[in-house]
Chains A and B, each alone.
Chain A
Amino acid sequence: MLLIKCPFCGPRPEIEFAYGGQAHIERPKDPMSLDDEAWAEYLYIRNNTRGVHSERWRHINGCARFFNVRRDTISDEILVTYKVGEAPDAVPEKDRPTKGGAVR
């Protein structure tokens, strides 16, 4: 089980959270102008990264807020968690999980 650091509530076990899929997918600003190809890209095509993956999580059994996580999908180690709208580098070093911080 992952130990996930909610940016609002602190570290909590994975069962308090819901996974929200790949992060930073922008909703089309003008949906009517999209062709089928662009809709398929928005709705279904995913990076499915092997390596460092940016993803959304929701603290559904806590503060219920969405936030972003960077996780290595090979080791499942969480590198950093950050609020929506924030850049991951904006998270102070002391608030980032240390090596091995993501326990399984």
Chain B
Amino acid sequence: MKRFSAISVVREALRGNSAWPRQWRSPEPKPRYDVVIVGGGGHGLATAFYLADRYGVRNVAVLEKGWIGGGNTGRNTTIIRSNYLFDESARMYEHALKLWEGLSRQLNYNVMYSARGVLMLAHNIHDVQSFKRHVHANRLNGIDNEWLSPQECKEYCPPLNVGGEMRYPILGGALQRRGGTARHDAVAWGYARAADALGVDIIENCEVTGIRRAVSGGVEGLETTRGFIRAGKVGVVAAGNTSVVMNMAGVRLPLESFPLQALVSEPVKPAFPCVVMSNTIHAYISQSDKGEMVIGAGTDAYTSYSQRGALHIANHTLDAICELAPMFRRLRMLRNWGGVVDVTPDRSPIVAKTSVPGLYLNCGWGTGGFKATPGSGDLFAFTIAKDEAHPINAPFTIERFREGVMIDEAAAAAVAH
């Protein structure tokens, strides 16, 4: 790996940028790996990186059926925050946020993490009470979150309409200043490049078609479109397709996959200084460094693997955004797309061992997994390497649905996030 530095960037610029090597290799699969990760999205690549970097497991492969970062990692609206209500979730997402803060330096790759603040708007009395409860709970967990009056919201984000004529007027907001955004593609590329440098094989265009199990019941290896690959341990990080992959090992899961949409506008000058979220009227908006307004819409009502959503869902979000920020009413949308997200009944992820020896599972991040990428990768790598959960992900088991020990962020947020 050729390191990026001010000197190397200037030197290569003078040479016409012709001598940069490929950022990661494109190797043929080896017959055997100690650990095989199924799914080359952000979470899978981060898992491979931390396995090699922190936990000393270097004989690792990441299998991706398409190209890396081509699924939800390249399709989300890049919001990063950790102001979750429950202790378990707060610890989980805060672990990730702390890693985000040093990630560019650690990977030697600019992931463009920008702590521009995430402002969650309240539109009714219930919102106000619920968000204030969040603020207090977060502070008890050492996580920054503060309450802003409507006028303070307007000062923090001038495009907002805080007038009383709205159907759902802004009654205030909860602001996490350390929250923000990162460049989603760069996260996948940065982890891939850093993992590759540590010896991890990233194998694209390689779809898993079966999970072979030994007589003892444990995992023996994976049938793939590029042949059989023997594996000591297998970690499944397949997001929307997790149910499909785990079915190959005979494991049934409390998951349903839904299409979630996002869209971007034509690029405009810097106009929107932070991330604004509104769960109640369902709008998520920020401005990318290219100038596009990046907008998150909702999930469709029905389960689907189609990677596209219905127009009325996107329309609903645009209605809300035109109310929140009237200056965007004449903005044209450039593209919209969908990703398939795997949702659990309590809207919290599963990061755990499974009933099959040697098979590990990281799924259920639903509509908000991007923010957790570094933390999820680190904790999943720990779980695979040590064959036991880290204290932070210990509550995020599959068994919680049998035992009734939910981490009910669905009730806490009253909305998909």
Contacts and interface: CB of A to CB of B under 8 A. Distances in A.
B410 interface: no
B311 A1 contact: yes
Contacts of B311: 1
Nearest to B312: A1
27 contacts: A1-B311, A1-B312, A2-B302, A14-B312, A15-B312, A17-B301, A18-B301, A19-B302, A36-B402, A36-B404, A39-B402, A40-B254, A40-B401, A43-B401, A44-B401, A45-B254, A45-B401, A46-B253, A46-B256, A47-B243, A48-B255, A48-B257, A48-B303, A49-B303, A50-B305, A55-B302, A71-B302
A73 B345 contact: no
A104 interface: yes
A78 to B, nearest CB: 10
B402 to A, nearest CB: 4
| Interface range, A side | 20 to 34
Contact of B310 (A14, A18, A40, A43): A14
Interface of B: 241, 243-244, 252-257, 301-306, 308, 310-312, 342, 345, 401-404
A73 B305 contact: yes
A74 interface: yes
Contact of A76 (B252, B304, B312, B342): B304
B255 A46 contact: yes
Interface in A45-61: 45-50, 53, 55
Interface string A83-99: 00000000000000000
Contacts of B256: 21, 46, 48
Given A40-B401, A40-B402, A46-B256, A73 B312 contact: no
Interface of A: 1-2, 14-15, 17-19, 21, 36-37, 39-41, 43-50, 53, 55, 71, 73-76, 104
A36 to B, nearest CB: 5
A55 B301 CA distance: 12
Given A45-B253, A71-B302, A104-B310, A50 B401 contact: no
A44 to B, nearest CB: 4
Nearest to A18: B301
Of the candidates A15, A44, A48, A73, the one having the most CB atoms from chain B within 10 angstroms of its own CB is A48
A53 B310 contact: no
Contacts of A1: 310-312
Given A2-B310, A48-B244, 18 more contacts: A14-B301, A17-B301, A19-B302, A39-B402, A40-B402, A41-B252, A43-B401, A45-B252, A46-B243, A46-B253, A48-B253, A50-B243, A50-B244, A50-B305, A53-B303, A55-B302, A55-B303, A73-B303
Contacts of A37: 402
Nearest to B402: A40
B285 to A, nearest CB: 23
Contacts of B252: 41, 45, 47
Contact of B254 (A19, A44, A55): A44
